[in-house]
Amino acid sequence: MKKYIRDIQDFPKEGISFKDITPLLIDPIARKKCLDVLVAALKDQAINKVVGVESRGFFFGTLIAQELNAGFVPVRKPNKLPFDTISASYDLEYGTDTLEIHTDAIQPGDRVLIHDDVLATGGTAKAVCELVERLGGTIVQCNFIMELTFLNGRDKLGDRPVFAPVVY
Ligand code: AMP
């Protein structure tokens, strides 16, 4: 899969090596292979909701939800979701960021898969887990295409299961 993940140096700002998944999205065979790998371990987990993180978590998030016959729930940046929301803020290198979820998107007892493209420092995924848990959902797995292990994102997610087939 690394063949289909492109490094863009100094994007969106200097010092960042951006992992571009558009080559993976454009190739139907590679995209299907990636989807198969992401869902392979999930078939027996009775997941009924997949939560995708804006915006690159929406691509495979919806594909995974379709494969699992589960609902898809978008988590978005502030003021994008039209219905009642709850929000969670998390620290960035400079400042903070906020994510929102619809209050009716998760019901108590829902078994939830969180999906995003990249696990970096883990701040984003942790905030998403907390939103889902506040609404009464259980996190079955946090699932990413790739993990930047040198940033130790897993540590932030505590004992929630993490799966990321591509490792840097
Ligand atoms: P973090 O909260 O640090 O784990 O960052 C995760 C979020 O930032 C995800 O939504 C990723 O899409 C994005 N992200 C972080 N680092 C990168 C990177 N090197 N390349 C592409 N996306 C990234």
List active site positions: 56, 93
Q: Residue of the nearest CA to atom 13 in ligand 1? A: 118
Flag whether pLDDT at 95 surpasses 90: no
Rounded CA gap, 121 and 90, in Å?
11
What per-residue confidence (pLDDT) applies to 92? 84
Indicate left, alpha or beta for 24 from its phi (over 0: left) and psi (-120 to 50: alpha): alpha
CATH architecture of 44-165: 3-Layer(aba) Sandwich (3.40)
> What is the CA 77 to chain-centroid distance, rounded?
14
Q: Residue of the nearest CA to atom 18 in ligand 1? A: 18
pTM for this one? 0.97
- Rg, C-alpha atoms of the chain: 15
Atom of ligand 1 lying closest to residue 123 CA: 2
Rounded CA gap, 48 and 78, in Å?
25
Around ligand 1, the residues with Cβ closer than 6 Å are 16-19, 53, 56, 116-125, 153
With a pLDDT cut of 90, the percent of the chain lying above it is: 95
Domain boundaries, the chain: 44-165
Q: Tell me the CA–centroid distance for residue 85 and ligand 1, in Å.
A: 23
Atom of ligand 1 lying closest to residue 127 CA: 2
Q: Residue of the nearest CA to atom 16 in ligand 1? A: 120
Q: What is the average pLDDT value for the chain, to the nearest integer?
A: 97
Q: Residue of the nearest CA to atom 15 in ligand 1? A: 120
| pLDDT tens string 1-56 | 999 999 999 999 999 999 999 999 999 999 999 999 999 989 789 999 999 999 99
Axis crossing angle, helix 57-68 with helix 28-40, rounded to the nearest 10: 60
From the list 140, 132, 146, 144, the residue with the least C-alpha distance to 159 is 140
Q: Tell me the CA–centroid distance for residue 78 and ligand 1, in Å.
A: 18
| pLDDT tens string 122-137 | 999 999 999 999 999 9
